[in-house]
Amino acid sequence: MTNQASMETPTTMPPAQAPALPVASIVHRDARCVVVDKPAGLSTHRGWDATDDALLQRVRDAVNAYVFPIHRLDRGASGLVLFALDAPAARALSLAWPDADKRYLAITRGHPPAHLLIDHPIPRAPGEDRVDARTEIWLRDRFGRYALVEARLHTGRLHQIRRHLKHISCPLIGDVRYGKGEHNRIFRTQHNLHRLALHCTHLTIAHPDGGELSVSSPLPADLAAAIASCHQHYPAVV
């Protein structure tokens, strides 16, 4: 069942807090789970930054029920995030998560190959040993020195897409940790993009009640506008 609802931004903020973030839309809800479209700039849950606002609390308040996060997106990224609505569903979805089809779109500095499986170990978490990590990517568009890349995660490590794109010398635009400051500034000043250029566009996973749950999210307006601006500014790449 699909429910095109929205979660309201909290009405009270500390005086020094930035303007309210965009609402996070519910793109799917049924008796066992809910999928939301997270805006950039919002943490999946508390503890990843200094603010009290987080996606988990917004979803909980919107559905008026306890929710179980199955995965997370970086604060700077946007797109689909899956929550379970009961403990057995959370266990089932967590077990199914490694085999789920998770797709992302990213803007990179540099052009990767048309298709590539990046098989490069990275730490599971800061300070830990490197572990197996695989990301499959496809080149979808090129504009000047930049590219639109589709990525599919085959493992789930911290900052995996960001680290793997850096590994092949195609860092993400807007990435202050693994990217290039010069190109991040170009996108801020010339293409009005002030965020990590990464969006979770598609998710297919086995549903706890049988069958598949499959949801999609279009590129948000700021990423689409940045790509259009690039096409205007840079000559076509043949």
Which is the catalytic residue, given 37, 74, 175, 222? 74
Residue 64 lies in a domain: yes
Residue with tokens 């967590």: 94
Answer whether residue 238 is part of any domain: no
Provide the whole-model pTM: 0.86
Q: What is the pLDDT of residue 47?
A: 61
Pairing of strands 198-206, 78-84: parallel
Alpha carbons 136 and 151: distance in angstroms, whole number: 6
What is the pLDDT at residue 26?
92
Residue 81 has phi, psi (to 5 degrees) of -135, 135
Examine residue 29 and state whether it is found in any structural domain, yes or no.
yes
Instruction: Give the Cα separation of 13 and 157 in Å (integer).
Output: 33
Q: Per the domain annotation, does 9 fall within a domain?
A: yes
Q: Which two tokens stand for residue 51?
A: 């603010």
Write the burial class of residue 219 (CB in 10 Å: 0-12 exposed, 13-18 middle, 19+ buried): middle
What 8-state DSSP symbol labels residue 16?
T
pLDDT of residue 44: 87
Assign residue 209 the CATH number of its domain.
3.30.2350.10
What is the spatial distance between Cα 95 and Cα 18, in angstroms, rounded to a whole number? 38
Helix, strand or coil, per DSSP, at residue 44? coil
* pLDDT score, position 1: 38
**CB neighbour class for 86 (10 Å; exposed up to 12, middle 13-18, buried from 19):** middle
Q: Positive or negative, the Cα torsion across 20, 66, 219, 2?
A: negative
How far is residue 194's CA from residue 204's CA, in Å, rounded to a whole number? 29
Question: Which candidate, 147, 146, 149, 145, places its Cα nearest to that of 115?
Answer: 149
Euclidean distance between CA atoms 113 and 101, whole angstroms:
21
Examine residue 42 and state whether it is found in any structural domain, yes or no.
yes
Give the C-alpha separation, 148 to 110, whole Å: 10
Q: How many domains does the chain have?
A: 1
pLDDT reported for residue 20: 47
In a domain, 203, yes or no: yes
Give all strands (DSSP E) within 76-222, no chain letters: 78-84, 101-109, 115-119, 122-123, 130-131, 134-143, 146-153, 198-206, 212-216
Task: Determine the pLDDT at residue 238.
Answer: 58
Q: What is the pLDDT of residue 13?
A: 32
pLDDT of residue 9: 32
DSSP alpha helices (H): ranges in 22-156? 55-63, 87-96
Tokens of 123: 């730490």
Which residues constitute the domain of residue 102? 5-233
Per-residue pLDDT of the chain (238 residues; tens, 9 = 90+): 333 334 433 323 333 333 344 556 899 999 999 999 999 999 987 664 455 678 999 999 889 999 999 999 999 999 999 999 999 999 999 999 999 999 999 999 999 999 999 999 998 777 888 999 999 999 999 999 999 999 999 998 889 999 999 999 999 999 999 999 999 999 999 999 999 999 999 999 999 999 999 999 999 999 999 999 999 998 776 5
Q: Are 228 and 207 in contact (CB under 8 A)?
A: no
The yes-or-no answer on residue 74 being catalytic is yes
Asked whether residue 96 is assigned to any structural domain, the reply reads yes
